[in-house]
Amino acid sequence: VRPIRIEDTVRGQYEGYCQAEGVADGSQTPTYAALKLYIDNWRWQSVPFYLRSGKALRHKTSEVVVEFKAPPHVVFPLPEGYELNQNFLSLCIQPDEGIHLRFETKVPDTQQETRSVEMDFHYRDSFVDEPLPDAYEPLLLDALAGDASLFTRSDEIETAWGIIDPVLKAWKETSPAYGVEAYGRGTWGPTEADAFIQRDGFSWRFGCSDSEH
């Protein structure tokens, strides 16, 4: 993983955090962070990875969204200036495990019209009569059985801290230009995080969440 530049980070704090019990007045502790990073190997060279996480956001959801590159050549003779929507795959981790695939397809009986369509799978829909364990149930059972296959290894944890520690150090030493941005409770984080990803021509995707607003 390439060292993360401070310009490729955003940190935020939800409004009212400093009024919480046990929090010091004027605390600059972030409750939100967004990062861009790169993995320098042959498979992921020059592909940006955008990560974000925070507290007091609109929904509690965890997902991985893969946005596919636009094809170099479009088969359909589209009108001048017409742009196809990007195809993307969403891996829904919680609270509703599943997979969403959105892709562009030609509208039947038209010459040049395309439309985004979706295919999705959710465990709760496909296994209606089967009991679905809660998030920590399998981990607790595996811990009792001594099975560590689903747990993060110590070397993975050390590597993760090795990536993020320089960012935390840079935040402590940073100038106000890269300070902690305020955001409202029940939003998707500070507006600076939207501008942060939009400057690269992208936007935050909500493939598994029913609503992005």
For residue 141, is it within any domain? yes
pTM: 0.86
pLDDT tens for each residue of the chain, 213 residues long: 999 999 999 999 999 999 999 999 888 899 999 999 999 999 999 999 999 999 999 988 899 999 998 877 777 777 777 778 889 999 998 888 999 999 988 888 877 778 889 999 999 899 988 888 887 888 899 999 999 988 999 999 999 999 999 999 998 887 665 689 999 999 999 999 999 999 999 999 887 765 443
Sheet holding 9-14, edge to edge: 49-54, 32-37, 9-14, 180-183
Contact 98, 92 (CB under 8 A): yes
Q: Are strands 88-94 and 98-106 parallel, antiparallel or unpaired?
A: antiparallel
pLDDT score recorded for residue 132: 84
pLDDT score recorded for residue 175: 63
For residue 149, is it within any domain? yes
- For the domain that residue 59 is a member of, what is the CATH number? 3.30.360.10
Q: What angle do CA 159, 160, 161 make, to 5 degrees?
A: 90
For residue 20, is it within any domain? yes
For residue 116, is it within any domain? yes
pLDDT score recorded for residue 88: 92
For residue 17, is it within any domain? yes
Q: Give the number of domains in the chain.
A: 1
Domain that holds residue 14: 6-71+83-198
For residue 205, is it within any domain? no
pLDDT score recorded for residue 48: 96
| DSSP structure class, residue 71 | P
For residue 78, what are the contacts with CB-CB under 8 A and spacing of at least 6? 84, 112, 114
For residue 1, is it within any domain? no
